[in-house]
Amino acid sequence: MALPPRMIGLACAVAAPLCWSVGGAVMRSIPASAWEMVFWRSIGHMLAFPILLWAVFGWRSLRDMRRAGWRSAVVTACMVGTFTFHVLAITTTTVANVLIVQSISPFLVVVAAALLLGERPGRAGWAVVALAFAGLLPVIGGSLLAGGGGGRLEGDLWALAVALGSATMVITVRGGAGFNLFPGTWFAAAIAAVIAAAIDPVLETSPGDAAILALLGIVQSTIGLAFFFTALRYLPAIEVSLITLLEPVLGPLWAWLFVGEEPPASTLAGGAVVLAALGVNAAVAARRYGTATVPANPP
C-alpha cells in the first residue's frame, strides 16, 4: 500500500537533516583547506547526481529546469553560496555554532512564506517559531560575547550567509512546487568546484581524504538535498524548514562524540530549546493534519 503523500513528505524532511548533520564531524577530521573541501564535496555530488537523476527523478526533470525560468537561476545561485559558505564557516568556528546560526533560516522562511506564498503558521505555529528562535539567542549571544578571536565571529557570519541563501532557495522551490529544481544543484556544484580550483591547489589533498570528502558530498548534497527537495513538494515550506532544525541538534553531537569538539554550555542549552520546539511542532502538525495531505503540488 502506498504511503500518503504527507507521510512521504515527513519522511523526506527528517531524512534530509540526518544526512546533513554528519558533515561537521567529517570535515573536522580531514586535514584539508576549506577550498579543497568545497572542491571534493562538489565533485562527489557531480559524479553521483546523474545516477540519482536517472534512477529516481528521470531525465524529464531537466526540462523542468528550462521551464522554471528565473527560478532555476535563483536556486543554482543559492546553492553555489551554500556549498561554499558552509565549508568556510565550518573551518572558522565551531560546528555547533555553524549549525545553530544556520538554523535562523527557518524563521526567515516563516516570514517570507507568509508574505509571498500565503503559507501562514497560525497561532500555534508562531508560538513554535518563537520558542525555536529563543533557543538560538544563547548561541548567538555567546559568539558575540566571545568576540572575533580565532575567527569565531567570522564563521558565524559565513553561517548567516548560508541561512539567507537557504531561505531564499526554499521559498523559490516551494513557490514552483510543480517543477523539479533539484538538477540545479549539479550546476551549482560545478560552479563551486571551478571557483575552488581557481583559488586553492586542490590536488594537494591526499587520495584517501579526497575520497572521504567526495563521499560526504554524495551523502550531504546528492542524497540529503534529494530528500529536501522532495519534501518541499509535499509539505509547506514552514514545516519542512522547522524539521531541518534536527541538523543543529545532531551535528554538534556527532562532532562531540567523534572528534571531541565539546560545544559550549550556551549552545547545548539553545539546542535543547530548539529540540523542544520541534517536539511541539510535531504535535501541532499531527493534531492539525493527522495522516491527511496538505496543500501541495507533488510530482
pTM of the model: 0.81
Residue 13: name the closest of 226, 273, 165 by CA: 226
Domain count, the chain: 1
- How far is it, in rounded angstroms, from Cα 241 to Cα 264? 25
Tell me, what amino acid is at 165? G
Kindly state whether residue 295 falls inside one of the protein's structural domains.
no
Residue 297 lies in a domain: no
**Structural domain that includes position 12:** 5-289
User: From first to last of its 299 residues, what are the pLDDT tens digits of the chain?
Assistant: 567 778 888 899 999 999 999 998 899 889 899 999 999 999 999 999 988 888 777 777 777 777 878 888 999 999 999 999 999 999 888 887 788 788 778 778 878 887 887 777 677 777 777 777 777 777 666 655 655 444 567 888 898 899 999 999 988 888 876 777 888 899 999 999 999 999 987 778 899 999 999 999 999 999 999 999 888 888 887 788 778 878 877 888 888 888 887 777 777 777 778 777 767 766 666 666 554 333 333 33
Tell me, yes or no, whether 124 lies in a domain. Answer: yes
* CB-based contact 234:7 (threshold 8 Å): no
Question: Contact, 141 vs 267, CB < 8 A?
Answer: no
Neighbours of 298 (CB within 10 A): 14
Residue 81 grid cell: 553560496
Residue closest to 106 by CA, chosen among 182, 181, 24, 163: 163
In a domain, 298, yes or no: no
Collapsing DSSP to helix, strand or coil, 262 comes out as coil
CA 77, chain centre distance (Å): 15
